[in-house]
Structure formats: structure tokens, C-alpha cells
Structure 1
Amino acid sequence: MKNNNFRKSGLAVALIAATGLSATANAAVEVYSNEDTSFSVDGYFNAFYVNRDDKLADTQSSDVKMGFLPNTIGFNFSKKVGDLTMGGRSSFWSTINDSLQSPTDTAIDVRQLYGTVDGSFGQVLIGKDFGLYSRSNIFLDEILMGFGSPGAPTGVSFGNIRTGYPYPNPSAQITYRTPDMGGLKVAAGIFEPANTTPGAQSEQSAPRFEAEVTYNANLGDVALTGWVNGRSQSSENATTTVDSTGVGYGVRASVAGLSLTASGFTSKGDNPVLIVDGALTEDDADGYLVQGSYTFGANRLVLSYGETDAEILDLETENTTVGFFHDVNSNLKLVAEYNMYESTVRSSGAAAEEADTLALGAVILF
């Protein structure tokens, strides 16, 4: 029996979308398969030479760093019992960017640790996985396997997080997914809420709720993908209540090697970078990302532009990317990117950051 859980994992969706390969090509290495039980392993390894020109500080730096996606190894399990298939995934995400800061203590985090139950009814997922809000926005980003906008000097790059979409934080959740209904799929779940009102008598009396609807269709030679996702939660303390809401959306059209994607989000009382515990207000944020790519042979050329306007963070950002991806084979990809990132203080218009980044790298996946 083939393992289906990898195909449903966040990493699988990301890699399939970014590479344009079939799910089978990214279906990991099957280690064990006996009757109705299987076990497989998948991996993702990358490194980039990064040259960054900081316009405001008037400095230039050279680094060897990983790209937007960290280096990852994942383990997938599947067992069929009667009409049900039980599965699970555990994936470990590791940085290489701390080589000199902590030479023998590379940071490892677990972004996926969940079990699944599949049947004719669809799927129920229990455990930790990426969120549903902004999920397709990021997983269908054309530069997902590239570098994108800079992050902290010694940290990960941000791709288009904060310049077009927020991060779908891996969170504890109980999520239901429908079967494929003629191209229409619906996912909805309850999630661990964020404490956005720390202080005396702080409470979150209900879980965070997230959902996503996706639709895939072919109109002649044009392949269409559309999605809408959202998040809602409430947090309060003795003096303050913060109701957080967010809506993400997007559409992609592909024909004869050409792909055009437009996505965006709007939120209130929600951090447009990533949801974490910490005091927030009910101020607004919104953003959008427009991208075009053209695939010819083993090559893919990408143009990308994104913006975020965040009243809640008093910040405006934008990022422009030109990227080139070359498939040496189905398991090795070469990447060249040039990114131009700017951020300003929204209330004053003062420049906060301006940097141009050249990133040249390689990706190995199995």
C-alpha cells in the first residue's frame, strides 16, 4: 500500500506546489511496506550563498545560510484497519544559520507531529501541523523553495511573510477535511488560542477557529486554483478584550508553462507576521502578493511583488523578487534570486529597513 499521509502533509503540499512535480515524485522513500502497513522517510536540504546590501546601515554582508524552507527530515506512518486508515507524520526542521553562534547546538523544532484517521467521510487530524489561515497563500508562493525577504541577521529568511501574507503557525489542533468533492475541498478545525491580552485574569474561553476552502478546476487548457481561508479567536483580561479575525484568499491560473497568481489577506486584531502570545490591539492589517512564472524545459523564471500595510504594527513593507530555478534532476534544484525589500514606519514615513539581497543556492530533496 502506498503511503498517502506524506501527500497530505504541509511539506508535501509546499514542495509539490513549488516544484511543479507530481505527488508521486515527492512521495518520500518507502522504508517498510507489508500488507496494510507502511513507513516512509522524506528529506529537504538546502544552502545559499547570500550577499546582502543594507542601504540604511551602508554595510554589505556575505553569509552561507539556508533558504526560506529550513532543512527538514520527516517520518510518515500508515496502517489500514477495516474501512479506516490510521496515519501519522513527525517532521524535524533544523537551521544551519547558527553555525558560529552555537557551533554544536543546532536548533531543531518540530512543526508537524500529528495523527490522522481517513475514511469515506474524509480525514480527521489530531496533533500539531501548520494552520489553515494563510496556508495556501504561503504553500503556493512561487519562491517557497527560494530565499525571499531577509529576516534577522542571524535568523531565517522570511520569504514573503510580512510582505503579502502572515505565517500559518504550526499549532496544536483538531481538524476535519472533507473528501474531494469535484475539485472542492473544505477544512475546518479548532486550535490552541493565543494569549493576546496578557495580564490579570487573562483568559481565552474558546479555542481559535480556522478554516480553508480550496477549489481546483480545468477550463480547457487552463488549470485554475482558488482558495479562501480564515481565522477567528477572542482573548480578554480584567480590562481588555481583543477579538482577532483574518481572511486570506487567492487564485492561480496556469497554461502552457505560464502561471499567474494573486493572493491577499485582511485582518483585525491579528499579527500579520505570525500569531504569538503577547499584547495586541484590534487595529487592522492587510496585504497582497502578485506573481508570475514561466516554465521552459527544466527551468522556471519567477517575478514576484508583495506588500503589507499593518496599522497594528505601525509598519509598511514591500518586497520585489526575481528568481530563477533549474532542475538538474527530480531531486536536485539550483536557485538564483535577487530580492529588494523595504519597510517604513507607518505613522511617520521614516525608513526602517532597506536591503537588496542576492541568493545563490541548491536544494536536495527526496
Structure 2
Amino acid sequence: MIDNNKIPTAYNKTVFRKVPIAAAISLLALGVAPPVMAEVALETEDGWKVGFNGHIPVFAVVGDYDKPADEDSFNITTGFNPATLQTNLYAPRQNGIQVSGHFQMNADFAVGDAALNFRSRVAEIAVAGDFGTVNIGKGFGIYGTPAIGDNGSALGVGLIGSPDSVAATAGRIGNGYFYANFNPRVMYTSNSFGGLQFKVGIFTPTKLSAADDPSGDAEYNLPRFEGNLVYSTDGFSLWTSAFTQDVDSRTGVFDSYTMSGIDFGGSVSLGGLGVRGNYAMTSGTGNGVYAARFDEQEADASQWYVETTYDIGSTTLGVSYGEGEDDIGTGENDTDLTMIFARYAVTDALTLMVEAQAYGTQTSAGDYNAFIVGSQLTF
């Protein structure tokens, strides 16, 4: 643990002392097993605690792109998870209840002033006790997790938006899983019952864009509902998740419809060998992130992936393959992404990474091949 127990009294009259605090809030929300990390942690004499943790990933990408123009490129960018600073505040435990607040700021790799690329993904209150945990505010969703915890893209790059991308990359969004995204919500997480745990939540509904609904006729009188069920034991996990959201028309300009989705997945590890897979289906939305559709409400989409990894000491070797299919428009929207990757933990804080990709698509985005080297500081 990195600590600082020499805070000047001019800033706070309370004496601070060393305290370890659980870290990796954001990675755990993704269903990712966090690497060993420290947290800058402080505690006041009356029991208030504050901690900071996060990560800084940096990748150099050499790519060969077919569309929209035949282009070779070199770019230094962030990965699927952008540079992140997580702040965690813990109130004194009272009446068997632990109340905490969690704030997350994320930075992309835009050239020059980063004001437009510095944003918040998480701002929430967590209330935990014998009843489980209630999260109130903006945070990670439920549908699509923990499928997003694959080793290849969650800790690497995955799908690259463009040769000049500076924002967070897309991982396996649309080529393996549907992205849960960060949304305002009220969410309940149960305690574990012999390895079985569930989450349910109500979310701010996704709305039609102004282009799709110029008259503002759409209404959303119900929240989006999401939930998942996960069973985990040592070296084995199974999960399923689902969501549903109604999109209504006040005057009948369009037929009211329901967005929905369901997925199934699992992982198993034996010694250094790990295998992970997921299959997802959605209707009335895209194969990437929540998007209400005005003219093709019944369009279906699906995504799946399978991944194999092998740990040799401090090194992880892996290969994964996934596909996506979306019926919107011409229906010629099939994509596939192959990834080969390696991770080496130089220290508990520093990881070196190598990744090779081949992406195929029938869309205007075009195929590409990329070779990537990078590193990540985790604290």
C-alpha cells in the first residue's frame, strides 16, 4: 500500500494514519479479476477513509487499413480502458451499514489540451450491509457483464475505431459482447449464496436521437430494466444477463416497440489454462451499445466470442476469436475479430503487453490488421 500519514494540519485538523482499503472498484464492476495493486489510502481518527487507485495504459499501434481509404498508420493511444483515476470515500460504519462514494475520471490521448477528452464515467453512492449492496448514481451497467471481463480486450486494445483513434478503443464490443456502458441507475447486488449471486437494476432509458425523432414524439414512461445471475466457484463461473426497455409513441407516428437482450457465458481455469466464452442476442437495438431505432425496431443482432489463455509464471499468452451480426439496413453487417496477445508482469505495478489483430467486416468501416505494443501502470 502507498500511504501518506503526514498531511499538514493546515489542510485538516484530523490526524491521518495508515489504512489499507479495497481497490479495483472499476475492474470488479467489469467482472475482471484485478491485478495486484496498491491504493493511496488515508483515514481520519473518527473513521472516515479515502483512497485513490487507477491505471494508465499506453499503446503504440501499427495498422494496415482497407477503408475508408487504403491506409497504413502509426498511432499512440489508450486501450479499451482509458487512463483512469478512481476516488473512493468511506463513511464510518454505523448500524451495520457501510456507506461509500465512488468517483471515476478518465482521460483519452487527444493531442494538446485534453479538456474535451477528460470525463467522468462513475459517480455513485454505495450502501452495503447484511442485505447486500445498493448502488445509486452513475456507474457500469448489468447486461453484458461479466462477459466484458475477457483477458484479451479488457486489459488490452481490441477493436480500433479508426487509424487516428485517440479515445478508448472498443475491445470486443459488437464482436463478442454487447457493451453495458456507464449509465445513471439504481442497482441492487445480492450477497453470495454458496457462489450464486444476482444483480437487478433500473436505468435511465436510452432515447431516440433528434434525427430519428425530429418531432419529439417518442416517450419513455418506464426505466430500462437489467439483471444478471452469476454462479462462481474456484476456477469455474457461469453467467446470464438480460434487459428490456419500452419505446412508445405519443401520437402513433411510429409503432411502439421493446428493446431487449439476453446473453449466456462461462469460464473455467485449470492450472495455468483458462477458457472463456459468451453468446448474446438483442432485438430493437444495435450489436454494440444501447441505441433506440426509429425505422428498424425489429432488427436483431448477435455477438459471440471464445478465448483461451495460458499462464506461465508472470507471462500470460492468449488467443481469442469473436463475431458480430446486425440485421439493420442491408443486413450485410457481419464482423469478426481475431486477437493474439501476451502480457508480462514486470512488477506488481507495471505490465508489458503485445497484441496482434485481424478484423474483417462487410461494412464501410473496412478490414484491417494491426500490431500493438504497450504498457500499463496500475496503482
Shared fold, TM over 0.5: yes
Question: Partners of 2:292 and 2:302 in 1: how far apart?
Answer: 20
Q: 1:270 aligns with which of 282, 285, 290?
A: 285
Q: 1:207 to 1:255 in 2, by over 3 A?
A: same
SS of residue paired to 2:359: strand
Q: 2:205 aligns with which of 193, 210, 234?
A: 193
Q: 1:352 Cα shift?
A: 4.5
Alignment of 1:17-166 (within 5 A): 17=33, 21=35, 25-26=36-37, 28-32=39-43, 34=45, 36-56=47-67, 57-79=69-91, 80-96=93-109, 98-99=110-111, 103-152=113-162, 153-154=164-165, 155-166=167-178
Question: Partners of 1:10 and 1:284 in 2: how far apart?
Answer: 30
Whether the 8 Å contact between 1:230 and 1:247 is mirrored in structure 2 is: yes
SS of residue paired to 2:346: strand
Alignment of 1:238-249 (within 5 A): 238-240=252-254, 241-249=256-264
Q: 1:303 Cα shift?
A: 0.1
Question: Partners of 1:104 and 1:217 in 2: how far apart?
Answer: 43
Alignment of 1:223-262 (within 5 A): 223-237=235-249, 238-240=252-254, 241-262=256-277
SS of residue paired to 1:132: coil
Question: Partners of 1:209 and 1:233 in 2: how far apart?
Answer: 7
Which residue identity is paired with 2:120? V
Residue 343 (1) aligns with residue 343 (2): no
Q: 1:16 Cα shift?
A: 4.8
Question: Partners of 1:283 and 1:77 in 2: how far apart?
Answer: 43
Question: Partners of 2:45 and 2:150 in 1: how far apart?
Answer: 34
Q: 1:170 aligns with which of 155, 167, 182?
A: 182
Q: 1:202 to 1:14 in 2, by over 3 A?
A: closer
SS of residue paired to 1:11: helix
Q: For structure 2, which runs of at least 5 residues remain unmatched after alignment? A: 1-18
SS of residue paired to 1:138: helix
Question: Partners of 2:376 and 2:365 in 1: how far apart?
Answer: 32
Equivalent residue, structure 2, for 1:348: none
Question: Partners of 1:3 and 1:214 in 2: how far apart?
Answer: 25
Residue 216 (1) aligns with residue 232 (2): yes
Which residue identity is paired with 1:131? G
Q: 1:92 Cα shift?
A: 0.4
Whether the 8 Å contact between 1:2 and 1:38 is mirrored in structure 2 is: no
Q: 1:278 Cα shift?
A: 5.7
Q: 1:159 to 1:271 in 2, by over 3 A?
A: same
Equivalent residue, structure 1, for 2:320: 304
Q: 1:297 to 1:336 in 2, by over 3 A?
A: same
Whether the 8 Å contact between 1:261 and 1:292 is mirrored in structure 2 is: yes
Equivalent residue, structure 1, for 2:10: none
Question: Partners of 1:15 and 1:227 in 2: how far apart?
Answer: 11
Residue by residue, what CA displacement relative to the aligned partner does 1:10-56 show, whole Å, maximum 9, x if unpaired?
33454852x5x4xxx33622133545321100021011111010134
Whether the 8 Å contact between 1:149 and 1:340 is mirrored in structure 2 is: no
Which residue identity is paired with 2:282? S
Q: 1:201 Cα shift?
A: 2.8
Which residue identity is paired with 1:148? G
The structure with the largest strand share of the pair is: 1
Residue 363 (1) aligns with residue 373 (2): no
Equivalent residue, structure 1, for 2:336: 318
Question: Partners of 2:200 and 2:157 in 1: how far apart?
Answer: 30
Q: For structure 1, which runs of at least 5 residues remain unmatched after alignment? A: 346-350
Question: Partners of 1:118 and 1:27 in 2: how far apart?
Answer: 23
Q: 1:224 Cα shift?
A: 0.4
How many pairs does the alignment contain?
347
Question: Partners of 1:261 and 1:106 in 2: how far apart?
Answer: 36
Residue by residue, what CA displacement relative to the aligned partner does 1:219-248 show, whole Å, maximum 9, x if unpaired?
xxxx10111111100012232212100112
Residue by residue, what CA displacement relative to the aligned partner does 1:134-171 show, whole Å, maximum 9, x if unpaired?
02111244331111121133343211111111211111
Which residue identity is paired with 2:248? E
Q: 1:358 to 1:163 in 2, by over 3 A?
A: same
